[in-house]
Chains A and B, each alone.
Chain A
Amino acid sequence: MSAARMAPLSAQEEQDKWLADAQNLVKQYAFYMKRALDDNNLREALKQGSLMLGELRTTALSPQKYYELYMQVWSELHHLESFFADPARHGRTNLELYELVQHAGNILPRLYLLVTVGSVYVKSGEGAAKDVLKDLVEMAKGVQHPIHGLFLRAYLGQASKTLLPDAGSPFEGEGGDTRDAVDFVLQNFTEMNKLWVRMAHGGPARDVDRREKERRELRDLVGKNLHVLSSLEGLDLSLYRDVVLPRVLEQVVQCKDDIAQPYLMDAVTQVFPDDFHLKTLETLLGAVPQLKPSVRAGDVLASLMERLTQAAIDAPELADAFADADALLKFRECVAAVVEAQPQLEARERLLMHASLMSFAVAAHKDRLELVDGILASCASALGAPLPPASPRDGAAGEAGTSASSEPPPPAMIVADPKAVKQLVALLTVPLETYDTDDVLRLSSYPRCMSLLQPADARDMAVAVVKSVLKGSTAVGDPRRVETLFKFVASLMRDAGEEDEEDFEEAQLLMSRLVHRLRSDDTKTQLAILTTAKAQFATGGAKRLRHAAPPLAFEALRLGRAVVAEQSLDESSSTKTHESELLKQVLQFLYQLVSNLEQATCHDLALRLCLESARLADSAGAEHAAGDLFERAMTSYEEEIVDSKKQRTALSLIVGSLRTCENFSEETRVELADRAVGYAARLLKKTDRVAALAACAHLHWRKSPAKTSGEDDEGSVGGSGDAAGVSACLQKALKIANASLQASATTGAGAGEATGLLVSVLNSYLWFFENGCEGAPASAVAELLERADAELSQLGSQGACPPDVRAHYDATVRHIRHQRGRRGVVGARFRDLPEA
């Protein structure tokens, strides 16, 4: 043995060699032992057996190699055991044998033999199980060498497994009762754990890692005892509660070991049944804060909660039991105690515990939202998240603000560790997946928890929230709730940290979609909701408002229309003034939105919104407001729209909007129309100008609504308006076309385009002519037709006629021909035209 001790322990080959040597010797001694057994020579068999067992006294082998050796010896011990079991072969009583083997001079072989005889002694019924087992477990204390002791006691545990005086076992009664069985196993467990823990100590510090690895390999030897305990038939709740659990926990707490504590806590959790845990939760949890600070109490707790969560999911009928046991409260207290007791606890673990709490709460008490909120609150507090500046207005969960805020709070732990982030995200995702939007928004501590995330992570989380709201079935219909919602997604509303442009756009797009989920049937509430939302978006600055404005505007317009609809339904009622007030507010809201957009230099958007708002105002008969809005749109057009293409589009929008307005006084209408004409005339491109002027012409003319359009195939035949105005516009357009033709004659280029203009003008004329507007007399149409024909033939002869112009003209002619064939006024009108 001393030679073994001197050899360096590390080298793998050396280990192999030691093991091979020892195994050879074991084989040899076992051979002689078996020969002696064949001769029924007890003394010789014991001698050889002792020698064989003596090989287990080595201190040279690593636990793994020692295990191999142990297994070899173990299988040989069976021969000895069956020999002991047959009194005819050795002629001794079991008691005599029991004494005889104790004459062995070396303790380790002696105890292996004693255990072997002891099990025979109990099996034969000669020895009372409790006495023999107690003696064995007591005598085993002589082996203090950790590995020797662990394996010896493992052998004892193995040998005694079927001999325990458990309820229903043949050894019950004389041999004791379950209590004795429990005491025995507990004692063996305690001693094994102590030995196991002791392996960590002694030896050079550089070997710490190796020792830890070796210890982990051996942990199931210790844990096995807990399995045995849990499988005792006679183990009932009271025995577990009063004896097993306290003693196991005492050992767990006392051993103060980094590896043993979490392993054993986990083993206890896994091995014993759920209802035991439920009934003893307080005791079990009481041990958690007493674990070493370096032990991950969070993991331990989380594992326990996971186990019970799973139980709650698997058996929903257990929910009552959970409630009776006040399980959640106890967990929460325990978590709080751990947080309190271990200031150095990592964020990851704090979060893990709360995430488990959350899962448990949702699994066991799904209907109790306040519990979920409470967990969020304590999670936030556990990580030092600052309290919201004002006391929470949302009354759903008062718990959020309970922690004392008199002293300056420690700085919040910002969760940066990816694992911790994952935990926090998981924690925050649980409510989203479980509850619908309305309930989630009642979790007032939710934003506090989110504030623990780094900006980028917080944004991701906020996106998840938004997506969940979008996915949800219920709309958010309360301004206060809207405000809360914005707290949830606050991180999307401010700039912090680096942000990818694409992500930003995507997030804002989601936020815009979110606007459509903010909806109440009550118009007044809806206005409040929109106002709130806008204010919130405004805090995000122009670049966010730009995205949010269109949906906000659409919602406002929709609201406005709804108001108008209500108004017209309710014409006579006294609420009219009130409704108008509401409408005024809607318009104001829109107006503000326009201003905001202008500030954000989104002039296109502002202009469009302005026009839409104007139409709304007009439809509500608010002429001044409508006029004002048009004016504003035009101002904006003049001042801000400089690009010609945009100008063309904007102008056509203005004209289009203006045309649909019905409630302007003549004066205003003319004024606005004139301005539009003025803009049209100043457009850069001739085609644009012509088109715009033609459109402007419509401002002066309103087609009379088709009274009997269903059966009257003559279609619309008339209208009313300012023929002079129409004429003026059309002539201006014609003038441009003419000028263009002249120019092409001079320059020799652009004739095709000029002819195109002419055809366009012809069509405009034709439209008014068709609708009976005096501003477009037959003569003018006829002249234009003639000219167009002439120009086209000329171009045709040169082979330079653009096909689109030609087609346009042909279509026009076909139309005229067709109209000519019609009956009624229109047909008559067309027959005035010369045949093409």
Chain B
Amino acid sequence: MSFFGLGRAVTVDLTHAAGEAQRVASVKSDRGNLETLPVFTDKETIAGHVHLSPAPGKQIDHLGVKIEVLGQTELYFDRGDAHDFVSLVRELVNPGEFNGPLSVPFEFKSVSLPHESYRGINVRVRYVLRVTVSRGYGGTVVSDFPFLVRLVDEPPSVNTGIKMEVGIEDCLHIEFEYAKAKYHLKDVVVGKIFFLLVRIKIKHMELEIRRRESAGGGVNTYNESETIAKYEVMDGAPVRGESVPVRLFLAPYDLTPTYKNVANRFSVKYYLNLVLVDEEDRRYFKQQEITVFRETL
């Protein structure tokens, strides 16, 4: 899983207790390629083995081997300010020496994992299992084994639709409705747009999903919006009285649940943005917040 330089005296590997059955998910790595990581959720036990392999024919002297579970929020604009909200340690091996491969079991029972893993524009939440082989003379080997945390939300008890009438006087008057205000990640946005008055030459209409991330606090609040999805729902100009159906599958998009004030550091909100574009490429839009939640892991 991890690659170490040949110069490393010891290769550290980690296997999870569940083995093949371990839940995994693919996410984009820092370098932009997909990586598959194990997934855990709150109050789950994280257990497995740490495999230590010294370079062939080498004896390893060490000051102890430990494993940590770390959960951190990182604000990119403030790199140094990583904040650990989870930090658990287990000593795996007492100081000593070994000269062959060594497998050591570890276990963290019912770990509290309060926040989901998240990679945003200005902020991220990341979890790692960190194995540290302490050695003198700067030979300490630290290996991180990232994992993902996903939290299943309570399905909303109330999930009423969104219905709204908007318009520009004597110009455009529409009413739109979405069947729900809260969507799980694989949900479908179903709705309808009614045209009550159309005096502009509409070219097309699209539905956007926008993500708004606000990180930090006070004067150092950083707000970033990005358009996650652009989905054309109408081609051409309708006349008054027409209604246009909307059906947008959320599955293909890389959404996260809505996050509210995670660790007092950031929030992520989602919006449905209905955009009408006229023949002069003017855009008329109306944004509605939706709540996104995780139904299953």
A interface residues, Cβ below 8 angstroms from B: 2, 5, 57, 99, 102-103, 105-108, 110, 138-139, 141-146, 148-149, 194, 198, 202
Kindly list chain A residues whose C-beta atoms are within 8 Å of the C-beta of B242: 141, 144
Bound CA–CA A146/B242 (angstroms): 13
User: Does B177 interact with chain A (Cβ within 8 Å)?
Assistant: no
The 7 closest A-B pairs by CB, nearest first: A145-B236, A144-B236, A144-B238, A107-B232, A103-B252, A143-B235, A106-B232
B243 within 8 A of partner (CB): yes
CB proximity of B196 to chain A, nearest CB, Å: 15
Question: Can you add 10 more A-B contacts, CB < 8 Å, to A138-B245, A142-B244, A144-B237?
Answer: A103-B251, A107-B204, A107-B235, A143-B234, A143-B235, A144-B234, A144-B235, A144-B239, A148-B235, A194-B239
- Complex alpha-carbon distance, A28 and B245, angstroms: 32
Return the chain B residue nearest A146 by Cβ: B236
Q: How far apart are A733's CB and chain B's nearest CB, in angstroms? A: 108
A459-B175 Cα distance, complex, nearest whole Å: 68
Question: Nearest-CB distance from B204 to chain A (Å)?
Answer: 8
Q: For chain B residues 190-236, which have a beta carbon within 8 Å of chain A?
A: 201, 204, 230-236
Minimum CB–CB distance for B252 against chain A, Å: 5
B58 contacts across to A, CB distance below 8 A: none
Point out the residues of chain A lying under 8 angstroms from B243, CB to CB.
141
Do the beta carbons of B237 and A141 come within 8 Å of each other? no
Given contacts A103-B252, A105-B231, A202-B201, contact A143 B245 (CB under 8 A): no
B interface residues, how many (CB within 8 angstroms): 22
- Most B CB atoms within 10 A — which of A57, A138, A145? A145
A107 touches B234 (CB 8 A): yes
Give Cα A145–Cα B243 distance, bound, in whole angstroms: 14
Question: A141 CA to B192 CA in the complex, in Å?
Answer: 11
Q: A102-B247, A141-B244, A141-B245 are in contact. Are A107 and B233 (CB under 8 A)?
A: yes
Q: Are B233 and A142 in contact (CB under 8 A)?
A: yes
Mask of B238-277 contacts with A, CB within 8 angstroms, 1/0: 1100111101010110000000000000000000000000
Task: Enumerate chain A residues within 8 angstroms of B239, measured Cβ to Cβ.
Answer: 144, 194, 198
A194 to B239, CA, bound (A): 10
- A556 to chain B: closest CB distance in Å? 79
User: Which of chain A's residues have a CB closer than 8 A to the CB of B233?
Assistant: 107, 142
Contacts of B247 in A (CB 8 A): 102, 139
- Nearest neighbor of A108 in chain B, beta-carbon distance: B235
User: Can you list 10 A-B contacts (CB < 8 A)?
Assistant: A103-B252, A105-B231, A141-B243, A141-B245, A142-B244, A143-B235, A144-B235, A144-B242, A144-B244, A148-B236
* C-alpha gap A231/B56 in the complex (Å): 83
Known: A142-B245, A144-B242. A105 touches B234 (CB 8 A): no
List B contacts of A107 (CB < 8 A).
204, 232-235
Separation of A139 and B201 alpha carbons in the complex (Å): 22
Which chain A residue shows the least CB distance to B242? A144
Q: Give min CB distance, A50 to chain B, whole Å.
A: 12
Partner of B235, one of A5, A139, A142, A198: A142
In angstroms, Cα B252 to Cα A194, docked, is 34
What's the minimum C-beta distance from B80 to chain A, rounded to whole angstroms?
40
Question: What A residues does B201 contact at CB under 8 A?
Answer: 202
Chain A residue contacts of B231, Cβ below 8 A: 105
A145-B245 in contact (CB<8A): no
Instruction: List chain B residues, Cβ under 8 A from A146.
Output: 236
A102, B281: Cα distance in complex, Å? 25
Contact indicator B237/A145 (Cβ below 8 Å): yes
In whole angstroms, how far apart are the Cα atoms of A139 and B233 in the complex? Answer: 9
B197 CB to closest chain A CB, in angstroms?
Answer: 15
A139 interface neighbour in B204, B245, B251, B281, Cβ under 8 Å: B245
- Is B252 a contact partner of A57 (Cβ separation < 8 A)? no
A102 & B249 in contact (Cβ 8 Å cutoff): yes
User: In chain A, what residue has the closest Cβ to B248?
Assistant: A102
How many angstroms between the C-alpha atoms of A198 and B249 in the bound complex? 31
Residues on the A chain within 8 Å of B234, using CB: 107, 142-144
Alpha-carbon separation in the docked complex, A105 to B242 (Å) = 22
Contacts of B204 in A (CB 8 A): 107
When chains A and B are docked, how far (Å) is the Cα of A602 from the Cα of B68? 142
Q: Report the minimum CB–CB distance from B174 to chain A (whole Å).
A: 13
* Chain B hits for A141, CB < 8 A: 242-245
| A251 shortest CB reach to chain B, Å | 13
Contacting residue for B249 out of A57, A103, A148, CB 8 A = A103
Closest to B198 in A: A144
B238 closest partner in A (C-beta): A144
Cα distance A193–B232 when bound, in Å?
A: 24
Which of B232, B236, B239, B249 has most A Cβ within 10 Å? B236
Complex CA–CA separation, A146 to B236 (angstroms): 7
Q: How far is the CA of A57 from the CA of B235 in the complex (A)?
A: 9
Q: Whole-angstrom distance from the CB of A260 to the nearest CB of chain B?
A: 15
> A2 vs B233: C-alpha distance in the bound complex, in angstroms?
19
Closest to A102 in B: B249
Q: How far is the CA of A143 from the CA of B247 in the complex (A)?
A: 14
Q: For A143, what are the chain B residues with a Cβ–Cβ distance below 8 Å?
A: 234-236
| A5, A103, A141, A142: most-surrounded residue (chain B CB, <10 A) | A142
Complexed CA–CA distance, A106 and B233 (Å): 8
Smallest CB–CB gap between B239 and chain A, Å? Answer: 6
Distance in angstroms from A187 CB to nearest chain B CB is 13
B-side contacts of A108, CB under 8 Å: 235
Question: Are the CB atoms of A105 and B230 closer together than 8 Å?
Answer: yes
A2 to B278, CA, bound (A): 12
Cα A228 to Cα B97 with chains together (Å): 86
CB distance from A480 to the nearest CB of B (A): 64
Residues of B within 8 A of A106 (CB): 232, 235
> Which residues of chain B have C-beta atoms less than 8 A from A139's C-beta?
245, 247
* A145: nearest chain-B partner, CB-CB: B236
CA of A146 to CA of B247, assembled, Å:
21
A149 to B234, CA, bound (A): 11
In the complex, which residues of chain A have a beta carbon less than 8 angstroms from the beta carbon of B236? 143-146, 148-149
Contact with A along B176-195 (1 / 0, CB 8 A): 00000000000000000000
A146 to B237, CA, bound (A): 9
Residues of A within 8 A of B279 (CB): 5
In the assembled complex, the Cα of A105 lies from the Cα of B204 at a distance in Å of 13
How close is B227's CB to chain A, nearest CB, in angstroms? 12
Which single residue of chain B is at the shortest CB-CB distance from A139? B245
Which residues of B sit under 8 angstroms from A103, Cβ to Cβ? 249, 251-252
CA distance in complex: A5, B244 (Å): 24
- Give, as a whole number of angstroms, the nearest-CB distance from B291 to chain A: 22
B239 (CB) vs chain A CBs: closest residue: A198
Contact with A along B77-96 (1 / 0, CB 8 A): 00000000000000000000
Chain B nearest CB from A441 CB (Å) reads 58
Say whether A145 contacts B235, CB under 8 Å.
yes
Give the nearest-CB partner of A5 in chain B.
B279
- In angstroms, how far is the closest chain A Cβ from the Cβ of B207? 10
Question: Once the chains are docked, how many angstroms separate the CA of A148 from the CA of B279?
Answer: 16
- What is the distance, in angstroms, from A111's C-beta to the closest C-beta of chain B? 9
Which residues from chain B contact A144 at a C-beta distance below 8 Å? 234-239, 242, 244
Q: How far, in whole Å, are A2 and B281 apart by their CA atoms in the complex?
A: 9
Distance in Å from the Cβ of A345 to the closest Cβ of chain B? 30
Expressed in whole angstroms, the Cα–Cα distance for A143 and B232 within the complex equals 10
Q: Give the residues in chain B near A198, CB-CB below 8 Å.
A: 239
Which residue in chain A gives the minimum CB-CB distance to B229?
A: A105
Alpha-carbon gap, A142 to B243, bound state (A) = 8
**Chain A hits for B249, CB < 8 A:** 99, 102-103
Output the least CB separation between B74 and chain A (Å).
Answer: 32
Give chain A nearest CB distance to B143 CB in angstroms.
36
Q: Identify the closest chain B residue to A195 (Cβ).
A: B236
Q: Which of A99, A102, A107, A194 has the most CB of B within 10 A?
A: A107
Please, how many angstroms separate the alpha-carbon atoms of A39 and B242 in the complex? 42
A149 to B244, CA, bound (A): 13
Chain B nearest CB, measured from A87 CB (Å): 21
In angstroms, how far is the closest chain B Cβ from the Cβ of A294?
21
A145–B236 CA distance with the chains assembled, in angstroms: 4
Shortest distance in angstroms between A495's beta carbon and chain B's nearest beta carbon?
A: 61
Min Cβ gap B297→A in Å is: 21
Residues of A near B235 (CB, < 8 A) are 57, 106-108, 142-145, 148-149
